[in-house]
Structure 1
Amino acid sequence: MKKVRLEEHNEYSFKEAKFDKLFLAVGSCESHGEHLPYGCDSFVSHQIALDLAQRVKNAVVAPPLWFGMSQHYRHQPMCLSLSDDTVIRAVGDLLESAAFWGIRKVLIVNGHDGNIAPIEIAARDFKVRHPDFGLAVLDAWWVTAGNLLPKDTFEVWDGLGHGGEGETSIGLSIFPQLCDMSRAKGDLPEMDANVKLIWNFQELTRFGASGDPTKATAEKGDKMRKVLVDYLVGFIERMDEQNWRYNIKK
């Protein structure tokens, strides 16, 4: 196993490794129902980043950002949330730190829906300031996994939901010792396919989870984890060949 955790390196080993890519996981600390741990989003995004770094060249993984914008999930105990502005500043500052130390390629792996908008703002602003920097974002792994897997993988709501079938499955794959399936329950809200209602989570479920976590299995989680990492390996290798730029067809 390669040593890919930044926090485990020192000044000498970092310079010797000649890393040119940094993977940054962003998560949250909030309820995912009574069956999943508060750190679920950070555990998942960080593990995806670690799995990926084992399979690509010259990549190091930053310690995860354990907090995100979770104000809309604070109706269940407990939630430690940052504001949108703070997430924007934190992500932007970490990108500036990477640039300062000569790392010019960053993949952000996001584990929480509330971070999507602030990460987008931080990334766009940073890219304008650093146009030659290679920057990519996996902003919703739970959607990506569903898109990549066969359509019959999940039983309810395409595996979606906060602490639902998909998220609970990948939890059973990554941190089974922290999952209590005897307490798994969620509600299934009706969502419009084309127009987004802005909600607070108590409008979608009576619990800390939505979707149907009782349908989750470790086997489904293993499949999600594999298909995500396989895809990201191909993406990173392709980006390295293209110098982290789009190929323009003439």
Structure 2
Amino acid sequence: REAAHQRGAKVVMLPAIPYGTETNQAAFPLSMNVNPSTLGQIIMDLVDSLANHGVNKLLILNSHGGNDFKPLLRELHGSTTVQIFLADWFRGTSADVKAEIFENPDDHAGEMETSLALAYFPQLVNRDAETGALHADDGATKTTRFSAVNEGWVSITRPWHLLTTNSGSGNPHKATAEKGEQLMQILVDRLSQFVVELSEADLDDRFPF
């Protein structure tokens, strides 16, 4: 928000929704789930509130892989005055730079997410007090018995307690705070630039074209 403000955007950041869809991680202690239909209804109600207050542009910044908001955008299209955009920062927003910054591809609590944690909330990273080494394994995951699923052209909702050893997917041991800061700067630059463009865009009959 601050970066967009500094570039001249008129923008308000709503509070984050602190829960997401965790149906496939329910086997882990205190995994808290909000079903997709419930989460979608929360956002629909918030969109209605924004429309009532004359706010007609919205960027949803999603930070959780279990949340799939694209069907919601399709459902809302044409039924609200609010023009809704979606950014999954861990996917498309950073897809072209992750391989340049990180050595190991990851999915959950791997090198990328651990680097961000080391940069911005290191007290939450479980490390050896003397050496700083992570108390973590290599984040290996299991393959299913179906080659089509393993090759990616058939998909499932993965039961995380069977897929992983401790919910981590991806090797975190090359993570550094510097890598986290590098990625965050790219995300801030890209997202703030988009917010500026969105703020300045006129809502005419051909929007967003």
TM-score (norm 2): 0.81
- The answer on whether the counterparts of 1:156 and 1:165 sit within 8 Å (CA) in structure 2 is yes
- Please list every run of 5 or more consecutive structure 1 residues that lacks an aligned counterpart in the other structure: 1-49
Equivalent residues in 2 for 1:112-151 (5 A)?
112-116=64-68, 119-130=69-80, 132-138=81-87, 140-144=88-92, 146-149=94-97, 151=99
What is the CA distance between 1:59 and its match in structure 2? 1.1
Count of aligned residue pairs for this structure pair = 192
Letter in 2 for 1:97: S
Aligned partner (choices 112, 115, 129) of residue 166 of structure 1: 112
- What secondary structure is seen at the aligned counterpart in 2 of 1:136? strand
Match of residue 18 from structure 1: none
2:203 is aligned with 1:246: no
- The answer on whether the counterparts of 2:109 and 2:170 sit within 8 Å (CA) in structure 1 is yes
Aligned partner (choices 44, 47, 65) of residue 95 of structure 1: 47
2:146 is aligned with 1:187: no
- 1:171/1:65 Cα in 2 relative to 1: closer, same or farther (>3 Å)? same
Query: Identity of paired residues, percent?
Result: 28
Equivalent residues in 2 for 1:75-90 (5 A)?
75-90=27-42
- What secondary structure is seen at the aligned counterpart in 1 of 2:170? coil
Higher Cα radius of gyration: 2
Cα deviation 1:150-178 (Å, max 9, x = unaligned): 63321112xx2211111111122221222
- The answer on whether the counterparts of 2:94 and 2:187 sit within 8 Å (CA) in structure 1 is no
Q: How far, CA to CA, are the matches of 1:146 and 1:204 in structure 2?
A: 25
Q: How far, CA to CA, are the matches of 1:150 and 1:70 in structure 2?
A: 25
- The answer on whether the counterparts of 2:141 and 2:163 sit within 8 Å (CA) in structure 1 is yes
- 1:200/1:243 Cα in 2 relative to 1: closer, same or farther (>3 Å)? farther
- Please list every run of 5 or more consecutive structure 2 residues that lacks an aligned counterpart in the other structure: 128-133, 144-149
The structure with more helix, counted as a fraction of residues: 1
Larger RCO (CA under 8 A, 6+ residues apart): 2
Q: How far, CA to CA, are the matches of 1:172 and 1:96 in structure 2?
A: 38
Cα deviation 1:122-175 (Å, max 9, x = unaligned): 332223212x4221111x211235423263321112xx2211111111122221
Q: How far, CA to CA, are the matches of 1:246 and 1:218 in structure 2?
A: 37
